[in-house]
Each structure stands twice: as C-alpha cells, then as structure tokens.
Amino acid sequence: MTSRIHGGPDHLGAPLHDFSSNSNACGPCPTAWAAVQQADARQYPDASYTTLRAQLADFHAVDLRRVLLAGSASEFIFRITAMASQLGAAGVWLPPHSYGDYAQAAQAFKLPVVTQLKQAQLRWACDPSSPLGAAHAALQALPDPAAMCVLDRAYEPLRLSGALGLSQEVLQKFWQLWTPNKALGLTGVRAAYVIAPLDSEEDVVQLERLAPSWLLGAHGVAMLQAWTTPAAQAWLAASLPALREWKTRQIALCESFGWTVLPSDANFFVCHGGQAPCVVAALRHRGIKLRDCASFGLPNHFRLSVHTPAAQQALHNGLQDILGKSM
C-alpha cells in the first residue's frame, strides 16, 4: 500500500508549532468555530442538504444545480476520478508538483498519468498551487470539451498576492473545488463543495449517484454555513494583512539561515536548503513540524505555512540550535 504523507499531527501527536499544515494561523474563525461547537450531532443532517446548497449557490451567485457537496477535497478527488474511469478516460494530467491524492486516485482507478494534455480526459490544476503557492501556468489551455478540468481552489481565500489568471468565461469551464476549512483555521472539520461547470448537468447527476448518503455530518454543515456569512468573510479579510506581515518576517528568518525562498502568492512557501530531511526531523523532535517536499518531487525542499511571531521565534531558536547560526 502506498504511504500517504501529509502535514499536521503524526505518530508523535500534534506539533507544538505546526508549519506543515496550511491552515490560517489567525484562526480559528470565531463565527465558524462557534457554529461547529453548537452543531447538533444528535441527529442526521438533512440528507439533501437543501438549505446549505441554497446558501452556497447564493454565495457564489450560481444556479443551485451547479452546487455539489463533498466529504472533503480528497473525497471528491477520488469520486471524480471514478467517474472519469467510468466514462472511459485514457489518462490523467497533473501539474509537475501537486497534491498527492490526484495521483493516488488515478492509481486506484488504474488511469495512467500522462504528460501531454491531449492524452488526458481528466486534468488537474491548483491556483495558488500546492506545494509552491504559485500561479498555475497556462490555465487557459486546460479546458477542452472532451475533458474534465478541475481547479482546486483550496488556497484562493488565503491568497496574499497576485490574482487568478482566468477570465470569468473560462473559469465557468472548470469544476471548482472549494475547501474552506483551511481559510477558517478548522482543518479538523472535513467538508468541501464544488461549483460545476456550465452545461454539465449529466455529469453532476452521475457524481451525485456516486456519492454515499450523508456526505457531511452536522459539524461540516455548520462550518460551510458559517463560511457563507458576512461575519466569517469579514474575519477572513481582516486576517490577510496580518498574514502578509508575518510572511515577510518569516521569509527573512528563513533567508537568514541561508535558505532560498521560492516565490509564493499564498500563506505558505517552499524553501530550498541543504540537509532538509535532517533539519525537518531534528525540528520535529523539538515540537516544530515542517513539510518535507520530497514526496512532491522536490528533494531538499520543505514547505512552511505562515505562522505567528511566537511560532517563528520557536523556529528560529530551534534552527539556531541545529545549525548554529543566529538571525
């Protein structure tokens, strides 16, 4: 069985200072956190999620029939890959460095990962990208009437610079995958949703058929409902200036230890540095977790989410102990 590597807690438990998960370091969002805490877990949610789907449709100003719910981004990745397999897809195209579940799902359904777009009936994009946090090059070239194109927008709410390089007309050709738990600082709540492309009614129906009953529990419903509120959106907007300031400080910290910081538009970035696996392991035993990027195809690189000044000071102290350098 293929090992899956993720950020967040591991066999050592929850890190004291977790730079490995791209959650909003200003979180949790008070509105969403209160809604999750008050969710009634004593009973099933509405199996059709009528109110939630209407709220999401209004939030995005789209037809209700274009809104699909997902247990998580990963759940939808596997479900749409299953549908692509059913429809006779011959290949899957991935960005050069990308979230591992895209390839894992392709492998599970025995779909080859191809390098030529024209060979792929399922195409993945993420902007800002993971793990780099950069713009996805040539997004305009992905859509094709003969292919399903998915745009993972997990980090769009946490974009700190730049803008999505798509016109609204082209954007409507993508399956847009949204996972607000990162932006809200509530990654432990698993819930996501998708805005389907225009004129994709048959595929929407088939994806609904492939979904199990009660995709979301009460806590997931509560979080997504809170996500659509003005209070949660105002909190998110207010968190971005702090994240920008912390990012500038954190980049300077990393560069002071001789690391090369790669460009990023998001609340995380990748560094290149010697002995990266050793540094990551040594920091982990000091209660600080970074994300080794070898599994992304980037050896001797590691990803760090933008964290609070207190966590950054702990990172500095840990690196000083390990590398013997001062800031």
What percentage of the chain exceeds 90 in pLDDT? 88
Where residue 12 falls among pLDDT bands split at 50, 70, 90? confident
- 89: its two tokens: 């897809």
User: What is the model's pLDDT at position 202?
Assistant: 95
pLDDT digits (tens, 9 = 90+) for 76-131: 999 999 999 999 999 999 999 999 999 999 999 999 999 999 999 999 999 999 99
pLDDT digits (tens, 9 = 90+) for 22-63: 999 999 999 999 999 999 999 999 999 999 999 999 999 999
Residues sharing a CB contact under 8 Å with residue 261, sequence separation 6 or more, in sequence order: 251, 254, 255, 269, 270, 271
pLDDT digits (tens, 9 = 90+) for 196-216: 999 999 999 999 999 999 999
User: What is the model's pLDDT at position 175?
Assistant: 98
Mean pLDDT of 261-287: 92
Torsion of CA 77, 82, 86, 91, to 10 degrees: 60
Beta bridge partners of 149: 123
Residue 325 has pLDDT above 60, yes or no: no
How many Cα atoms sit within 13 Å of 59 on the Cβ side?
Answer: 21
Beta bridge partners of 305: 268
Residue 327 has pLDDT above 50, yes or no: no
User: How many whole angstroms separate alpha carbon 67 and alpha carbon 138?
Assistant: 26
Where residue 193 falls among pLDDT bands split at 50, 70, 90? very high
3-state class percentages of the chain: helix first, strand second, coil last, to nearest 5: 40, 15, 45
Least trusted range by pLDDT, from 100-104, 107-111, 140-144, 175-179: 140-144
Residue 326 has pLDDT above 60, yes or no: no
User: How many whole angstroms separate alpha carbon 108 and alpha carbon 179?
Assistant: 23
User: What is the model's pLDDT at position 5?
Assistant: 77
**Three-state DSSP class for 149?**
strand
Pick the CATH number of 17-25+238-323 from 3.90.1150.10, 1.10.3720.10, 3.30.410.40, 3.40.1160.10: 3.90.1150.10
Residues sharing a CB contact under 8 Å with residue 97, sequence separation 6 or more, in sequence order: 129, 130, 131, 132, 293, 296, 297, 298
Query: Helices 309-323 and 230-256 sit at what angle, rounded to 10 degrees?
Result: 20
What percentage of the chain exceeds 70 in pLDDT? 98
| Residues 243, 305 contacting (CB under 8 angstroms) | no
Listed in sequence order, the DSSP H helices in 160-291 are 168-171, 201-210, 218-227, 230-256, 276-284
Amino acid identity of residue 227, one-letter, is W
| Topology classification of domain 30-231 | Aspartate Aminotransferase; domain 2 (3.40.640)
User: How many whole angstroms separate alpha carbon 191 and alpha carbon 244?
Assistant: 26
> 295-301 long-range contacts, Cβ below 8 Å, gap at least 24?
295/5, 295/100, 296/97, 296/98, 296/100, 296/131, 297/96, 297/97, 298/97, 298/131, 298/270, 300/272, 300/273, 300/274, 300/275, 300/276, 301/262, 301/270, 301/271, 301/272, 301/273, 301/276
- Asked if omega into 128 is within 30° of 0 (cis), the reply is yes
DSSP assigned state of 8: S
User: What is the model's pLDDT at position 3?
Assistant: 55
Residue 2 has pLDDT above 90, yes or no: no
Domain boundaries, the chain: 17-25+238-323, 30-231
